[in-house]
Chain A
Amino acid sequence: MARYVLRRFLTSVVLLLLSSILIFLVMRVIPGDPTLTKLGGTIKDVDPRALEAIRHELGIDRPLPTQYLNWVGGILHGDFGQSYFSQFPVTTLIGQRIGATVELAVMAMLFGLAIAVPAATLGAIWRNRVVDALLSGFAALGMATPAFVTGIVLIIVFGLKLHWLPTQGYVSFQNHPFESVKTTLLPAITLGISVAAPTLRILRTSLLEIGSASYIRTAQGKGLLRRQVVVRHLLPNASIPALTTVGVIVGHLLGGAVVVEYVFARQGLGTLLVDSVFQRDYGVLQALVLIAAAAFITTSLVVDILYGVIDPRLRVNPET
């Protein structure tokens, strides 16, 4: 088990390093110049010396390898650089916004799983009945509808028409827990639906597959109650493909959060990412993409390790 974990860990480190090089190079290749964006097009009579001064201040007048090594060196010392525009350290900017994203992701995940797990179980138990058809319909609709459409409909109905919930902004949980939940509810439902739909489908399919396995028939033949069969035999074996889904969900949450945060004007990491793309704020953009890559790689690592924990066969012979 220890060798298995070590091997997966080293692979993850290499992946992270390659990601950092790719991120750095892609930022430099996309068109647009942060120098000009900093000027905004409103400043006339631009002196070439002003442009030079800005480039030097941003550090983009140095050779690319130097820029990369400076960046990586800073990260290893905990310095992610600073925004080209606001001059805030990247860590400060992330600190200002990470709460909003984490709250959203956690609530969306809880909401999504709270729907998907019982729904998938019911669908597997009452296969081909009306309940199963309705749940499949919900899954199809949830997967087909883009998150921003769901979000806008919820804003119009619950925000504009009924005035039940706020449609934009963020209140931190520490400041006001009740208001925080209120401002997070609509975005969490929006993102949660897009998480629940694929999770429901995958979980239901895996439950059905395992449900027809011989050891399930044996368990039923032994006289175990249905609840006991589902909890002791069905769900644990269905959890392996579900774990894979968790990895997919995390990626989905990261990407979906960008769209949902933008629709609900929520000051999270998603809006920070989008803004830094438009502004070509290399410092912020590189750090955020690297953090997202690290989050995804870490999730995959944890999932791989959990595979080994749940299924001992994978520990013994991980390549099969």
Chain B
Amino acid sequence: MSAQRKVLVVAMLLALLATAATVAVTSAAGAPATIKQTTAPLAACKKSSGTLTYGIAGAGVSQLDPNTINFAGQAPLQTLLYNALTKYNSSMVVVPDLATSWRASKDLKTWWFNLRKDARYALGRPFTAEDARANILRVLDPSVPSQARSNVQDIRSVRVISKYQIRIKLGSPSALLPNALVDVKMSDTADVANLAKSGNGTGPYTVSEFIPNQSITLVPSSHWFGGKACIAKIKFVREPDSTAMVTDFKGGNLDMIWQVRPTDVPAVQSSGTYFLQPKGVSGAHVWEVDTTSGPFSDVRARQALNYATDRATMVKAAFFGLATPSFGDDLISATSNAYNKNLKGYKFDLTKAKQLFDAAGVKPGTTFTFWALAGRRDEWITMAQILQQDLQKIGLNLDIRRSDVSTWLGKFYPAGKSYPGYIIGNYFSMPPNPTYALKQGQFGSCECNWKNNTFEALAKKAPGVVDLAARQKVYDQMQSIFSQAAPVVVVAHQTNIVAAQKRVQGAWEDAQGNVHLEDARVAG
């Protein structure tokens, strides 16, 4: 062997050894970590200090209009830059925000909200009832793609009674209007053209620098009605992927990271870190099918798919045990007080699955297509692979495909599209209130294209039922209908896993998986 060739061989071997050593050193191993509780609420801050760097993987913040956001990762900005008339506290109770108090008429169709008089936008303009009205009407405008509209679309009129009072009239009675208004943020509608760039709100922070899809830096707003914001600088940075995000967190370059993969939890956990513990879980990993085209237009095929879904194994393999399987195929988590404990549910049973598929006319050799996202939600692929193996045992095939977000969305979104034979991996980020969580099953909301008139009628009725026990009966009926019809396979409930360095205090996560930093502070 020539000298040159010897050198090349040695170099290659050295490179292989280095790679193997690197993999061995950095591989995660061990049992699932213990999730620790959040810290208790802290006293107000006398001054702003410290810097908090928050990492998001895979996608970035592309625009700042709070009423048309399309990316869950920017949820913390909703409460850092903006306020709504109402908000959730860390116990998930609706409390005043820009509205100091409210009352309703006896028929629950008319509501009055009194507004605080000291709120100002970050650029100095006072917030008044006109702004509240303008924001609500903007959300109701059908030409504005607002994520908040579905919960407030029953509003018929908004009237300014005085400079700091508005009156809202509804089409049907609702005891839950204050809940619905949590997501209608009070942006500066006097400057709509710049809403996407400016981030001008009444919140504790204001935008110092914004590089779309890359980073956004916030500093305390001098006009905030709440006094001093606790942190001198908050920076949201976008990481290329989950691995890079975890690497940077472990290296101390990030103080908090959002949507940690379950498999990364052991690697992230250390004596200097903790995980946020939300009170309740209202998000779910689901498989959507088209209920208007074959074979899943037949309820037996949908029920068969449920029986073929080994939820217990999927939660163990894909979520490292950090999720709640939804054996009832229910939009409400089994850990919720509103869960219908009498649901018959779908225990994993391949024999029953095969019988139902046969009855629905799904012949052996049929191939379904599992449609997932590339670069995100690796858990879906693990679940799909388990489903693929199980379906093969009963003579069916599953073709697993991953696409970028635009191609993925184009197949099934918005509701009304036909996608026969496809099983779409998706995540429902549902509001914590069961009324609004169950709306996910309504016609027009669900991309499954399912319509059940009894379910629709109950969804309309629920908000107007004041008595909690009576309202729970409505929820129970809705859950029962949904479970039997199985328009969507709800695999497991899980919210976002958020990790923080111990120097970060006061952060909390709501049941929907949104992180709240408005009370956060950094030590040291």
Contact = CB atoms under 8 A, between A and B. Distances in A.
Given A42-B147, A50-B144, A54-B145, A137 B7 contact: yes
A43 B196 CA distance: 17
A33 B63 contact: no
B22 A265 contact: no
Contacts of B193: 87
B18 interface: yes
Interface in A18-74: 31-34, 36-47, 49-54
Given A43-B145, A46-B415, A86-B62, A32 B213 contact: no
Given A39-B145, A42-B70, A141-B15, A31 B240 contact: no
Contact of A86 (B8, B147, B197, B215): B197
Contact of B26 (A83, A156, A262): A156
B244 A265 contact: yes
B440 interface: yes
B18 A85 contact: no
B406 A32 contact: yes
B212 A85 contact: yes
A163 B7 contact: no
Interface in A73-94: 83, 85-88, 93
A267 interface: yes
A31 B439 CA distance: 31
Nearest to B244: A265
B247 interface: yes
Interface in B244-288: 244, 247-248, 250-251, 253
Contacts of A263: 240, 244
Contacts of B446: 44
A306 B181 CA distance: 67
B112 to A, nearest CB: 27
B466 interface: no
Contacts of B149: 45
Given A31-B410, A133-B3, A134-B7, A43 B12 contact: no
A130 interface: yes
B405 interface: yes
Contacts of A133: 3-4, 6-8
A50 B409 CA distance: 17
Contacts of B325: none
Contacts of B22: 153, 156-157
Nearest to A261: B240
Find the residue from B62, B63, B444 having the highest chain A CB count within 10 A: B62
Interface in B187-224: 193-194, 196-197, 211-215
Given A39-B413, A278-B404, A45 B250 contact: no
Given A141-B11, A153-B19, A168-B239, A275 B4 contact: no
Find the residue from A34, A86, A169 having the highest chain B CB count within 10 A: A86
A155 B146 CA distance: 40
Contacts of A166: 253
A130 B7 contact: yes
A46 B68 CA distance: 12
A300 interface: no
B70 A41 contact: yes
A96 B213 CA distance: 12
Find the residue from A45, A132, A263, A272 having the highest chain B CB count within 10 A: A45
B382 to A, nearest CB: 21
B293 interface: no
B413 A36 contact: yes
Contacts of B150: 44-45
B72 A42 contact: yes
Contact of A275 (B197, B213, B250, B445): B213
Nearest to A140: B8
Interface in B54-76: 60, 62-63, 68-72
B440 to A, nearest CB: 7
A187 to B, nearest CB: 12
Contact of A278 (B71, B405, B444): B405
A44 B445 CA distance: 5
B410 A33 contact: yes
Interface string B401-445: 000111101100111000000000010010000000001100011
A279 B253 contact: no
A157 B23 CA distance: 12
B215 A262 contact: no
B389 to A, nearest CB: 28
A271 B404 contact: no
A167 interface: yes
B38 interface: no
B445 A145 contact: no
Interface in B143-184: 143-147, 149-150, 153
A293 B69 CA distance: 34
Contacts of A262: 240
Given A86-B63, A168-B237, A279-B405, 8 more contacts: A39-B70, A44-B444, A53-B143, A53-B144, A145-B15, A156-B22, A265-B237, A272-B213
20 contacts: A32-B407, A32-B410, A36-B413, A36-B414, A37-B406, A39-B414, A41-B413, A43-B68, A43-B146, A45-B415, A47-B143, A96-B214, A133-B8, A155-B244, A160-B247, A160-B251, A161-B25, A167-B251, A167-B253, A272-B213
Interface of A: 31-34, 36-47, 49-54, 83, 85-88, 93, 96-97, 128, 130, 132-134, 136-138, 140-141, 145, 149, 153, 155-157, 159-161, 163, 166-169, 262-263, 265, 267, 271-272, 275, 277-280
A-B pairs with lowest CB-CB distance, top 10: A40-B70, A32-B406, A86-B212, A47-B142, A53-B143, A133-B4, A46-B414, A44-B445, A85-B62, A267-B214
